[in-house]
Chain A
Amino acid sequence: MIATIPDARTKRTSRPGQQTQSGGSRSRRRRNVRDAAAAAGFLAPFVILTLVFQYVPLAVLARDSVHQFTLFNPEMAEFVGGQNFVRVFSDPETVQSLIVTGWFMVVFLAVVVPLGLLIAVYLNGRLPARGLVRTMVFLPVVTSSVVVATMWTFMLAQSGLISGLLSSAGVPPINFLTNKDTALAAIVIMCVWQQVGLAAVLFLGGLQAIPADVQEASEIDGAGPVRRLIHVTIPMLSRTTVLVVVMMTVFSLQVFAPAFIMTTGGPEGSTNFVMYHVYRTAFFLQDPGFASAISIVVLVFALTISLIQMRLLKMKWNF
């Protein structure tokens, strides 16, 4: 691709009268080949790494998804065709896991996107301690998911900090992580706390890219802060919104650490997120073929959702 872009210097040397037509095109070809070789040299490591660590595993995943075997003895894999894919939609645990993940995704997006935007609007204003607040909001994003999950496990435990606070306020303690009605909600809150900083920083970048004269014009036209936010800021942030929504969707489909560390998928499967279910199916239940089929279904689902979101939130104008 790079090699086909005409080079300004090549154009100069091939002007009629300065060099013959054939000599010029030969020189241009040589230069193009050199450029292509250089580009290939620079790109090769990344292309190779991407192939080896992204596409080869995907191919292996696809192959495994039509086989049944155990990790202890992969040589004895048996070809089962699409049977694993049929199981994805007929196995009650897997269906429950997909529903739980879907619910998590919807609630998480419904909270994290608007909250991220509000925090970004706050951070975009001229308010005291803005830098400190920005750091505080972003800090959980760069903290390891394992550390966050472990910390919240202690906080939400039966005898944890939050129960202690509640009981000191006269409220009976709640076993957040061992109650099937509260476990998923508790994990949504934890994930919002962890990811809202990223959403806010992305929105902040989008806000700072909106031309000031548009905001000024709407202000002169008499629009108040709320109307400006709804009719000017949000529409002009749609490109950033696409990015935030897609990133948060992918995050919600990949949630693993909370289920692994905090709840082991329980109680009664209420936090059995699909990535944890894949891990559990492959390693604990020794059914990596089925786990691969679930992974492929999730991959297709993630791609479809992302495409739909990008289509729905498509920017209708540029600035």
Chain B
Amino acid sequence: MQRTVKAATVAMAASALVLTACSGGTNSAGDPLPTTAECPEGVTTLKVLTSEFGFPKAGQIEDFAKVEQCIEFAVERVPFAQLAEKISVAASSNNQPDIIGFDGPWTQNFAAQGLLAPLDEYLPQGWKDDVVPATLTEQSYKDRLYGMGIQQDSLALYYNKDMTDAAGIKVPTNLDEAWTWEEARNAMAKCQQGPTGNPTVWGWAPNRYSPGNAYRDLLFLRSAGDPTANKDSSAYKTFYAISSDGKSASGWLNTPEAVEGAKFFQSLFTGPHAVASQTAIPNSLIDKRSCFDIEVVGMIDILNKAKVDFKWGIAPLPYLKTPIAHTGSITMGIPAKSKNKEAAGKTIVKMSTGDQLKLYSTKTFAQPALKSTAASVPALNEFPYKLFTDQIQKIGVPRPPSPHYVQYEQYVVEALKDIATGADPRGALDKAVSRIDPILSR
């Protein structure tokens, strides 16, 4: 009996020693981490919830693994359209991911609800001076930073050069020569083939988002404003589209200038001079069903891979009164209830700065959120990528920042969609404002 007790004691002690030896470190919740020869402090597996093509991308994870063996990833990817719902549902569970990939403008929503942990303590020195201002505005809330941006994107006007040449249209290719929307509409009308309303080739047919997409179409309203005007003027307010404290849209989104912008936007899709399709036509540019399309930098890769049999080009975004381009892209953050906050924070910083960021930008030609990285990648400083770099750095602004951006966007999208299909612009904007304001003031 005594021998049995002794043996059991020895076995327990040995097991305890083995367990102690194996667990070199613990996560934020105090759970031990498994160790390997390369990682005596333990291997941390970060659970990631992101979109199909969201951060961290597969290539980034591969590159990261080459320099950091002690971090592993368990990635769950969902379609972008379902990402917000999935994050909402995950937020109320106790088993939260360690990193979430999400759209930049959602940052303030998530931060205001306590969903995200701040990243400030992990930031390298000088980061805030180097980052594109739009990223800093978009991903900060109450002076704390919740996302680092990795890349920035903007839209540009793609065109079928064979068609524009045939129509005798000379398209500008640098920012200083950007068309006004009036000029762009004339070019679209000249290039369009077939009867208005049912052409064989559209002037502009969106290939992905039907009219109403806030990233693209809210620009028609904001561009009708003027950021250099008096701060109390409606022109100034139109440009920002939301009050500076993010608590009101009335008098910002439905100004006379915004209504004029909305009327112009409507004229592209309805009426005798319509040049744009009211519904998206997938691959419209690739299939030569459209002379122009408005897309992000990723379209370059799509056109190259499609090996289209026509010449194509890229022009800066047209404007009404003030040149403007929305910045923004998907980003990464740490859920407040993550059990691996420190490891997640350091991973996000490493992927969003230095060699890892340069590697990513060099491979993908995506515009980095850091100006120094953008300057260090030669391709980003040559046409066509330079056009995007210039737009982001010179005329880029984030979508209207607000802790209720998701709701704000929903009503803006619905209003723009209705305007494009014939609703009274003033009525639609007033209605949107009447719905948005009670939410913003909560």
Contacts and interface: CB of A to CB of B under 8 A. Distances in A.
Contacts of B88: 70-72, 283, 286
B252 interface: no
Interface stretch (B118-126, B277-285, B316-324): B277-285
Nearest to B413: A264
A21 interface: no
Nearest to A160: B279
A25 interface: no
Which of A71, A163, A167 has its CB near the most chain B CB atoms (within 10 A)?
Answer: A71
Interface in B408-429: 410, 413-414, 417-418, 420-423, 428
Contact of A73 (B91, B198, B406): B91
Which of A73, A153, A167, A280 has its CB near the most chain B CB atoms (within 10 A)?
Answer: A73
B274 to A, nearest CB: 10
B113 A158 contact: no
A232 B192 CA distance: 61
Given A158-B278, A177-B279, A71 B417 contact: no
A163 B198 contact: yes
Nearest to A267: B421
Interface residues of chain B: helix, strand, loop or mixed (majority): helix
Contact of B406 (A74, A173, A179, A286): A286
A177 B197 CA distance: 15
A267 B113 contact: no
Contact of B439 (A73, A264, A285): A285
A172 interface: yes
B38 interface: no
B277 A159 contact: yes
A160 B84 CA distance: 31
B92 interface: yes
A179 B421 contact: yes
Contacts of B113: 70, 72-73
Contacts of A219: none
Nearest to B277: A158
B185 interface: no
A102 interface: no
Nearest to A75: B92
Interface in B77-124: 84-85, 87-89, 91-92, 109-110, 113-115
Contact of B197 (A160, A172, A284, A285): A172
B407 interface: yes
Given A158-B278, A268-B418, A280 B289 contact: no
B208 interface: no
Nearest to A265: B414
B281 to A, nearest CB: 6
Given A175-B279, A283-B88, A159 B289 contact: yes
B89 A284 contact: no
Interface string A142-164: 00000000000100011110010
Interface in B123-163: none
Contacts of B114: 72-73
Contacts of A157: 279, 281
A72 B115 contact: yes
Given A70-B113, A72-B109, A72-B110, A264 B92 contact: no
B421 A71 contact: no
B151 to A, nearest CB: 25
A177 B210 CA distance: 12
B435 interface: yes
Contacts of B278: 158, 175, 178
Nearest to B110: A72
Interface string A61-79: 0000000001111100000
Interface in B261-296: 277-279, 281, 289
Contacts of B110: 72
A268 to B, nearest CB: 5
A285 B409 CA distance: 10
Interface in B161-205: 197-198, 202, 205
B265 to A, nearest CB: 14
Contact of A267 (B109, B198, B410, B417): B417
Contacts of B406: 284, 286
B440 to A, nearest CB: 12
Nearest to A260: B81
A266 interface: yes
A285 B414 contact: no
Interface string B201-241: 01001000000000000000000000000000000000000
A7 interface: no
A216 interface: no
B435 A93 contact: yes
A159 B89 contact: no
A283 B87 CA distance: 10
A175 B423 CA distance: 14
Interface in A36-52: none
Which of A72, A157, A267, A284 has its CB near the most chain B CB atoms (within 10 A)?
Answer: A72
A160 B279 CA distance: 10
A285 B407 contact: yes
Interface string A261-274: 00011111000000
A286 B115 CA distance: 14
Contacts of A74: 92
Contacts of B421: 175, 178-180, 266-267
Interface string A249-266: 000000000000000111
Nearest to B407: A285
Contacts of B205: 159
B198 A280 contact: no
A177 B278 CA distance: 10
Contacts of A179: 421-422
A78 to B, nearest CB: 11
A76 to B, nearest CB: 8
A159 B278 CA distance: 9
Interface of A: 70-74, 93, 153, 157-160, 163, 167, 172-173, 175, 177-180, 264-268, 280, 283-286
16 contacts: A72-B109, A73-B114, A73-B115, A158-B279, A159-B277, A159-B279, A163-B198, A167-B198, A173-B198, A175-B278, A177-B279, A264-B417, A266-B414, A266-B421, A284-B407, A285-B439
Given A73-B113, A178-B278, A285-B439, 14 more contacts: A71-B88, A71-B89, A72-B115, A74-B92, A158-B277, A159-B205, A167-B198, A172-B197, A175-B278, A175-B421, A180-B422, A267-B423, A284-B84, A286-B406
**Closest 9 pairs between A and B when the two form their complex, measured CB to CB:** A72-B113, A71-B88, A178-B421, A173-B198, A157-B279, A73-B113, A284-B410, A267-B421, A178-B278
